[in-house]
A and B are shown apart, each in its own frame.
Chain A
Amino acid sequence: MPVPCRKCGGSAILKRPKTGDALCKECFYAAFESEIHHTIVTGKLFTRGERVAVGASGGKDSTVLAYVLKLLNEKYDYGLDLVLLSVDEGITGYRDDSLETVKRNQQQYDLPLKIVSYEELYGWTMDSIVKQIGRKNNCTFCGVFRRQALDRGALLVNAGKIVTGHNADDIAETILMNILRGDIARLRRCADIITGAEGALPRCKPFKYTYEKEIVMYAYFKKLDYFSTECIYSPNAYRGYARAYLKDLEKIRSTSIIDIIHSGESLSIKKDVKMPTQGTCSRCAYISSQPVCKACTLLEGLNKGLPKLGIGKPHKARKRLDAVDLKASTDSSTPPPSSSSTSSDPAASIAPSSSSSSSPSSSNVAAEVKQVVDF
């Protein structure tokens, strides 16, 4: 017996995860799109005439985002100039395939595409980074580099804003993650629909209130082409716990995701809690709470052949890196550390003891957890 569509009475083919209503295909599309339009309008995400970079990874969220934004831009005449922006991390097998998807999307949606690569921005691909540091901390590098790469790419195409495909599930998960990590600064920011401090481009999340399941449904029925493989280098266990907990919550109460976002929106942080002050990096001019930004610090470690020195708390990493410089300048007979390999340099032995051995379980968590998406 066919179930009637809740809206038009036709025959329903799905049950909306968000409201539990049975809908036909067309009514689901209409509801899905109208809600995103509602978010865009009430959140004042865009201004007419703006050039907007759509972060495109080839995954489901960004694929649907590009499709829907193009559609809404035409339907409601936002007057936006949309550009697809992809980051090529240089991961053989993973990025190659997803970039192919992005390129196909570019043709299907007829939007300009810009690809920026880690290699051109930093001189390192993720493959070569992993070759040097192993698989343990690579997500730290990737997370930090990607955040900047999107900004730099957007600047290259003269976009004033970046939109990302982060959905309600991602945001709820990040709120939980930041509580588990005790990261107050991020906890405060992560529920904002538009983020980005001075100096960095604003980022916005039109899918903030959109359930992941509905994005998949939309892609499935619209037969949108996306690539869905987890990054081959991503073992992020801790985030996995938050995700599993969220999925369990959803089983108990289907509105949990939106309830968590509501909680996140109504949190306020004590005034006397220290918040990092934002400035700019003295090397690359990117927004940073430290004199040298995280990416430049990591890069410096990599280029000195001592990648682990750049990981960890910024001021400690700085101290370690400066110690290496000092040693190199006083001991001028040895070749500069940047060309030496990790094995023979005496300073290399400082690294593990100061950054990651105090208590193995907690420091692993810290390192893995560090790379959580920064909204």
Chain B
Amino acid sequence: MCQVQGDDTLMIEEVKILKRSSTCLKCDEAAVVIARVKDAFCRHCFLGYVTHRFKATIGKSRLIRDKEKVLIAFSGGQNSSAVARLIHEGRSENQHKRSDSSQVSSTDDGIITQQTPEERRANRETITKLMNAYDLPTCVVPIEEVFSLRLSAESTLRVKDEDDVTMAMEHFSQLSIQDEASQRLQDILDSVKSLTAKEDLVKTLRHRLLADIAKQTGHTKVMLGDNGTNLASRVLSGMAQGRGVTVPLEVGFADNREGDSTFVRPLREFPSREVSLYNHLMGVESVCIPTLTTKASQYASINKLTDDFIHGLQVGFPSTVSTVLRTGEKLCMVSSSGDEGSCIMCKAPLDTNVSACSALESTQHSLAELSDPDRGQQTANGQCSLAVSCETSYDDQSSSECCGQGDGSCHSTKKTISFGDVSKGLCYGCRITVRDMKGVNSLPGYVLEEAGRRQRRSEMKEEIQDFLLTDDR
């Protein structure tokens, strides 16, 4: 959240760079900042440039209609604060249009960094105070809420009625933290061995929660604060975590894998430096809520390492961020086939149906060679370094308890879901993350439900296989 330098050092740096040319590119005022690579701007023209570029980014996507309801995902950090401010500015400018009923939403992730309930409350208050500056309805939803998400909720139609929306908003703004859900999330987090996997899991859960809030409150777009520097880093770290297939979704302007609520990234054309400059010049307030890797070493996680790597390269080669981002843009989505063609965790197209000569298959081959004589050993030490070996590892954990909901929504009373069943519905990237966990039974209900549903469907299909004329799903 706080990779940007403090404001003072930022301005000192500007003064240093500015020594050479000191008048604004657009007018003759004295320049105070450098934007893009070497354009000097005065305060007024810089702010104009940011506003223009922000609008242009949204405009050229042609995705956001006038008066469309937009949910701003707010963390309190520099990026999302800048988005909220820019949207706010835009609204006050067009006051006569009386547009939208956008909303600012935040997730309270305190449990992830093991904050005490008091700390979490304090942070929620801080965030709420910041959000109130933007004159929009707000809510802070605890991340634990992902355990209340239901697969069935997804299939219900989007609420259209004003009353429904008001009720949903009220619901979200009054949520309190459920101890039981907290404990369950804590257990999952504790069972994840690596920080890389933990970050990945948290991100997937948070996105799902945001998408759900948007759906229930009738918002069709969710604005994320990712800036260009973050996204360049995401291109590489996505590749490194086996998520090549989602790179175009993760770094493009729009990410539509959640269907009705499209995630958009209006700051993607700004490097992080320009975002902080904007905040500094506009006096935008933001806070630093620590994340999993705040203060950690560069080897703490793949994301952290990649952020540092990109930052370092950018210093030596100022075109790094834009080149990497452009590469990410030229990649495109493979279309997923049918409702069973996407990952049950992150909704990415499934990239695990690969040819015999592929990284995934070759890995499976290596493991199969070894696990032949004694398969049990993998379960015994609970350590298996690669995907498929796990398919059998956790079967013995399956017990007769139901999927953990205990509220009647569980359909799999017969037996719990095994690692293998879940794994089949996961993309390559999520498999890496899930195999880093001790078990799958504490995963959120919507994941397990979907895994169970697919499992049953594939059993059905097997049963009728001989009578099917085409290999249709």
Using a CB–CB cutoff of 8 Å, the interface residues on chain A facing chain B are: 6-8, 18-21, 31, 34-35, 38-39, 42-44, 175-176, 178-182, 184, 187, 193, 209, 241, 245, 248-249, 251-256, 258-271, 273, 361-362, 365
Contact = CB atoms under 8 A, between A and B. Distances in A.
A258 B357 contact: no
B332 A35 contact: no
Contacts of A39: 357, 362
Given A31-B370, A262-B358, A249 B327 contact: no
Nearest to B360: A262
Contact of B324 (A179, A267, A361): A179
A38 B247 contact: no
A20 B385 contact: yes
Contacts of B428: 259, 262, 266
A309 B381 CA distance: 62
A193 B354 CA distance: 14
Contact of B302 (A209, A241, A252): A252
Contacts of A268: 331-334
Interface in B403-454: 428, 432
A269 B328 CA distance: 10
B385 A182 contact: no
Given A35-B362, A42-B361, A182-B324, A267 B331 contact: yes
A262 B356 contact: no
Contacts of B366: 18-19, 31, 35
B359 A265 contact: yes
B359 A262 contact: yes
Interface in B184-222: 194, 196
B114 interface: no
Contacts of B363: 209, 255, 258
Contacts, number: 156
A273 B319 contact: no
A245 B302 CA distance: 10
Given A31-B370, A43-B357, A245-B309, A255 B362 contact: no
The 5 A-B pairs with the shortest beta carbon distances in the complex, nearest first, are: A263-B244, A259-B242, A43-B357, A42-B356, A42-B357
A267 B309 CA distance: 22
A273 B196 CA distance: 33
A269 B331 contact: yes
Contacts of B351: 262, 266
Contact of B386 (A42, A252, A255, A266): A255
B317 A361 contact: yes
B356 A273 contact: no
B369 interface: yes
Contacts of A262: 242, 244, 351, 358-360, 428
Nearest to A259: B242
A184 B317 contact: no
B261 interface: no
Contact of A175 (B239, B298, B326, B362): B239
B30 interface: no
B236 interface: yes
Given A19-B386, A175-B239, A249-B305, 18 more contacts: A34-B369, A43-B357, A179-B324, A179-B327, A182-B323, A193-B357, A209-B359, A245-B236, A245-B309, A252-B305, A256-B302, A262-B242, A262-B244, A264-B239, A266-B428, A267-B245, A267-B331, A362-B318
A194 B330 CA distance: 23
Given A253-B196, A255-B386, A265-B354, A38 B334 contact: no
A248 B305 contact: yes
Nearest to A261: B359
A176 B358 CA distance: 18
B434 to A, nearest CB: 14
B265 interface: no
A265 B244 contact: yes
Given A34-B369, A35-B366, A187-B327, A180 B320 contact: yes
A255 B355 CA distance: 20
A180 B244 CA distance: 15
B332 A269 contact: yes
Contacts of A258: 359, 362-363
Nearest to A9: B373
A264 to B, nearest CB: 6
A248 B309 CA distance: 10
Interface string B360-380: 111101110110010001000
Interface residues of B, number: 59
17 contacts: A7-B370, A7-B373, A20-B383, A39-B362, A42-B362, A179-B235, A179-B236, A181-B323, A182-B324, A209-B363, A245-B306, A252-B302, A255-B385, A256-B302, A260-B239, A265-B359, A266-B244
A184 B358 contact: no
A268 B370 CA distance: 33
A365 B247 CA distance: 25
Nearest to B329: A270
Nearest to A244: B309
B242 A263 contact: yes
Contacts of B317: 361-362, 365
Nearest to A44: B357
B78 interface: no
Contacts of A255: 363, 385-386, 432
A262 B238 CA distance: 11
B313 interface: yes
A374 B361 CA distance: 25
B327 to A, nearest CB: 5
A8 to B, nearest CB: 8
B299 interface: yes
Pick from B302, B318, B361, B363 the residue with the most CB of A within 10 Å: B363
Contacts of B377: 6
Given A182-B323, A184-B327, A265-B354, A35 B365 contact: yes
Contact of B330 (A6, A7, A176, A270): A270
B69 interface: no
B244 A267 contact: yes
A43 to B, nearest CB: 4
B241 interface: yes
Contacts of A187: 327
B370 A21 contact: yes
A365 B359 CA distance: 30
A39 B244 CA distance: 22
Contact of B240 (A20, A35, A259, A266): A259
Contacts of B235: 179
Contacts of B239: 175-176, 179, 260, 263-264
A233 to B, nearest CB: 22
Given A21-B370, A179-B236, A270 B359 contact: no
Nearest to A258: B359
B268 interface: no
A292 to B, nearest CB: 27
A217 to B, nearest CB: 14
A176 B313 CA distance: 13
B23 to A, nearest CB: 22
Contacts of B393: none
A245 B241 CA distance: 13
Contacts of A19: 366-367, 370, 385-386
A263 B370 contact: no
Contacts of A269: 330-332
A270 B318 CA distance: 26
A68 to B, nearest CB: 15
B99 to A, nearest CB: 33
B216 to A, nearest CB: 33
Contacts of A266: 244-245, 334, 351, 354, 428
